[in-house]
Amino acid sequence: MKFSPTFCLSEGFVIANDVDNKRCYLLVHQAKRLNSPCIMVVNHDASCIPTLQILSDGKKEALFYDRILCDVPCSGDGTLRKNIDVWKKWTTSNSLHLHGLQLRIAVRGVEQLAVGGRMVYSTCSLNPIEDEAIIAALLEKSEGTLELADSSADLPGLKWMPGVSSWKLMTKEGQWFSDWSEVPNNRRTQIRPTMFPPTDPEKLASMHLERCMRILPHHQNTGGFFVAVLVKKAPMPWNKRFPKLRKEVSSGAAEQTGDSLAASTPAEAPCFPERVEVEGEGPEKEASKRASSAQETAAKPNSVCGPPPMKRMKLFGYKEDPFVFLTEDDPVFTTIQSFYNLSPDFPKLNVLTRTHEGKKRHLYMVSKELRNVLLNNSERMKVINTGVKVWCRNSDGEEFGCAFRLAQEGIYTLQPYIRSRIIGVSVEDIKVLLTQENPFLSKLEDDAHAQAKKLVMGSIVLKYIPNPSKPEEPQCPIQLCGWRGKTSIRAFVPRNERLHYLRMLGVEVFRDKQGQGHKEGDGEKGGKEEVEDEVEKVTEEEMEAGNEGDLDLKNGEENGSSEPKADSSNQGASG
């Protein structure tokens, strides 16, 4: 799913998290296809993921989410059909070892869920200890603040079985337990009470565990999955004690009601303010006041002191490149503004780079809300990647007015702010641009040719606007990043996206399997093979040059002096 070409920066955003650093880079690779400025990938243990803060009306508030997908680690016994390793590694102990982690992740998820929001808990396991047991324990712990939602009407075509309300637990020795009271003392360190269903029939009935969805492999030729949808009706009960403590710590701060403060700052999160300014006193006076207060407290060994100062969070693993936001008066914008004739409402403050020093090679763009998150959580959050690439540097770009060319990734985000360097193209023009390596300007239709001749050499936007009177043509706008050379023009579009657009235009680009065996000299290639070879030739050159590749600005071709491309597994961290 891609952004609509009539895109305007959304107020919403998605934060995707994975505990495995390598999987985070895979997640970045998959998310890049969305070309969205509203996605952030972070690397944390979900069971203790930090509470993020945002600036609202000049005050810092805890960030809560209105939707959370809690896809927890599981034994994977529902993937037996595709995962051969499960047959060798599965034991009855797997679910016992994972149950505690799954419950901690689910608890942390509902803590960060906004009141009225929804959290989906899912696994690829059919073991009740990993499924209904977690939901039952969560509902019991919530004391009525959570409700299991009935989502059957939302998925009318999905075949699923209702959740179970009774189950037994088996050990690796073959012992069965149906209740916590049956578990011997020597087993109680491994087997926990939350692994069993509630013993009270009324409490069990009020949970409505039948609303959980069990997707069985043989019903729809899929894997086995478990899905439960939880709705948060009020702040979690263990969060309600926190406002009183916070009020004592932040004396002189703006007063808030207990419920509103509970909804903005979870109790288990280390979110005591590092600095509290009392109204009417400056920071120096306040600092000396805190120092004297600390000395007085130290002099009284039996005194009751407040909470300890918040420690700086330690972020382990590979240190990512920084996210550095540009200022409105940054020299980079001088030539960009004039060359592309950016509109006055272009959000310059939302543009960032991944380096503090040296030349800026890539410029990225994020939404206003993600900028707020990044600026207020730099020390508590390990960000792997965020934003969408909108400009790339050309080594010889200054010679023709601008050192930065447009990037296809961010063309739909950036184009609404560009008021020049745009060429309107037809379907036939797009076919030529996507199938030929470096066509002459004369190969474009008259209208596009005339527009291109008016522009100086450099980066351009190739824009197709659908014609309702021609229903046989694509009825969605298409925007491509291109380069206007001295006598030629070309599109800079990644291979997969190039093939996607060609299919939209009715051009078949895949070579027939029967024709793959033709040897050189067997005759001319067929139409499909010729298109495929031409596309491969174009995209291979672009891949070699990469986004940081140099361009021969006189004819629009890459000159072979491109910089070595970074490892694709680290693209999320490259600057």
Residue ranges of the binding site:
18, 45, 71
Contacts of 454 (CB under 8 A, 6+ apart): none
Neighbours of 253 (CB within 10 A): 15
Choosing from 38, 124, 271, 392, which is the catalytic residue?
124
Give me the DSSP letters along 303-344: ----PPPPPPPP--SSPPPP-EEPPTT-THHHHHHHHHTB-T
Closest CA to 417 of 443, 391, 456: 391
Region of 361 (left: φ > 0; alpha: ψ -120 to 50; beta: rest) is alpha
476 is catalytic: no
Pairing of strands 422-424, 458-464: parallel
Report the C-alpha gap between 374 and 265 in whole angstroms: 18
For residue 503, give the 3-state DSSP assignment. Answer: helix
- Are 164 and 209 in contact by the 8 Å Cβ rule? The answer is yes
Burial 471-483 (b: 16+ CB within 10 A, else e): eebbeeebbbbbb
Annotated binding-site residues for S-adenosyl-L-methionine read 18, 45, 71
Give me the DSSP letters along 258-300: HHHHHHHS-TTS----S--PPTT--HHHHHHHHHHHHHHHHH-
Region of 91 (left: φ > 0; alpha: ψ -120 to 50; beta: rest) is beta
Phi first, then psi: give them for residue 347, nearest 5 degrees: -80, 85
Give the single-character DSSP code of 358: S
Token code pair at residue 127: 């073991």
Burial 528-555 (b: 16+ CB within 10 A, else e): ebebbebbeebbebbeebebbbbbebee
Neighbours of 489 (CB within 10 A): 27
Mind telling me the catalytic residues?
Answer: 124
